[in-house]
Each structure stands twice: as C-alpha cells, then as structure tokens.
Amino acid sequence: MPRYAFKIEYDGSPFVGWQKQKNLTSVQGEIEAALARLEPGPHNIAGAGRTDAGVHAFGQVAHCDLTRDWDPFRLSEAVNYHLKPAPVAITACARVAPDWHARFSAVERRYLFRLLPRRAPATFDRGRVWHVKKSVDVAAMHDAAQGLLGTHDFTTFRSTICQALSPVKTLDALDVVEAEGTSGPEVHFHVRARSFLHNQVRSFVGTLERVGAGSWTAQDLMDALEARNRAACGPVSPPDGLYLAGVGYPEDPFA
C-alpha cells in the first residue's frame, strides 16, 4: 500500500487535541474522516506528536497508508476539500517509503510558544497567545532557561499523567526572544529536542514566566529541576500560545 506523509497546520481551539477520542472532536479524527471520503475506511493515521487540547500547529507531520496510487498534490487538495470547515489544512504532501514513520523516523521536534505581555486583553490573537498583564524580563528568562539545556531528569516539568517510560530527556535549545506580533511586542519561546514529556514545554514556559516577573530567580529554577519533584514546578502555562512548529527527519520528506 502506498504511504503518504502530510504536513499539517491547525487551530487547536475547538479540538480535544490531536489524538482521536470516542465521541469527541480531534484533529486526527477530522483528517481520518476526510480520508474516508476519498477511500473506504477505517483509516488510522500516525502523527509525529500528540498535541493537547487547545494547542496549535503549523508543522505537525503524519502519515497514512492508502490503496490508491495518488499524486501527492491531488491528494492534499482532495483532503483539504473534505476537511472544510474544520480549521485544519494539509500544507504539503509527499510519497514516502513503506517503512517511513511520522513519529519513529523523527529526530527532533520544535515548538514555539507566544506570550503577549500587555495590560489590554488580546483581541485578534485571543486563544492563540498567552496573555499576561505585566511586562517580563526577557533576558532574565533566556539566561535562566540555558540551565535547562542538556540531559536531565525532568520529573519536575512532567505531567503526573505522562506515559513516557523515563523522565530523562535531552533538551537541545530553549531560546527566549522578543518578537513583533499581530497585537504588538510578544515574547517567543523556541524549544527544540528529539522528544518531550507530557506538558514539558508548558511547564518550562509557566515557570520561566515567574522568572521574567521577578518572582523566581535562575537559582530557583535550578533548584526546581534538581528537586525531581512535580510539586517544585512553577505554574503551568495555558495551551493557548503553544504551537508544534516543526518535526525534523534525517531527510526532509517535503523537500
């Protein structure tokens, strides 16, 4: 059976997350329903990452097996047609090898988190940024974040319902920078690793926001990491500002 890779973007606001759940609206479920309009199902697509409820993506990757030999461009056009009006789009499609896997062939995941620090509430970007009412020290957050790089036991920054076999992960990058957004100056967190624990990025961001607000120091962050205790984590950020920005492979299937 031919195997196809999809690059996917979506607004996560109306979904329970990526993963299909019975009687609930998910991104995976919407795409599988669209595929069933093209070829009789059931279909079971595999995604590179399981984003939670309210989390967005512009670089999610998934693969599916179909019986028909589709032209990739025509396949993406057909799926997009049947996805309407759901806020989900296939932005690229490629034929891949039968043993290529969206999740297990990946060598890195990249996330973007958008924080909007201003007194006035978000309007155009409501649900797509984390709005905080006070300014934050971007340099202090970035400097503190560098202590999280490398291989650590990240139990502190791991959800209690995380199903990963080990809390040990290697964090390759966590850059905190100022950026211009739709509603004015934003703070962007760029995070990169081979894989992540459940809620790890949101736990990082929520805790680092405390550093930016002056409630925590960089040493407090290191003490929390070394505690290896979920109770030592700072507040977990809401999902609104989180985006799966990209998935890396030894060879880009969409190049």
Nearest-Å Rg of the Cα atoms of the chain is 19
**From CA 78, how far away is CA 13, in angstroms rounded?**
24
**From CA 165, how far away is CA 167, in angstroms rounded?**
7
Is the C-alpha dihedral spanning 198, 202, 205, 206 positive or negative?
Answer: negative
**From CA 109, how far away is CA 153, in angstroms rounded?**
19
What pairs with residue 215 in β-bridges? none
**52 assigned to active site:** yes
**From CA 90, how far away is CA 104, in angstroms rounded?**
21
**From CA 136, how far away is CA 133, in angstroms rounded?**
10
C-alpha 141, offset from chain centre: 20
| Three-state DSSP class for residue 192 | strand
Query: Of residues 11, 52, 137, 153, which has the active-site annotation?
Result: 52
| Three-state DSSP class for residue 238 | coil
Residue type, 146: Q
Catalytic residue IDs:
52
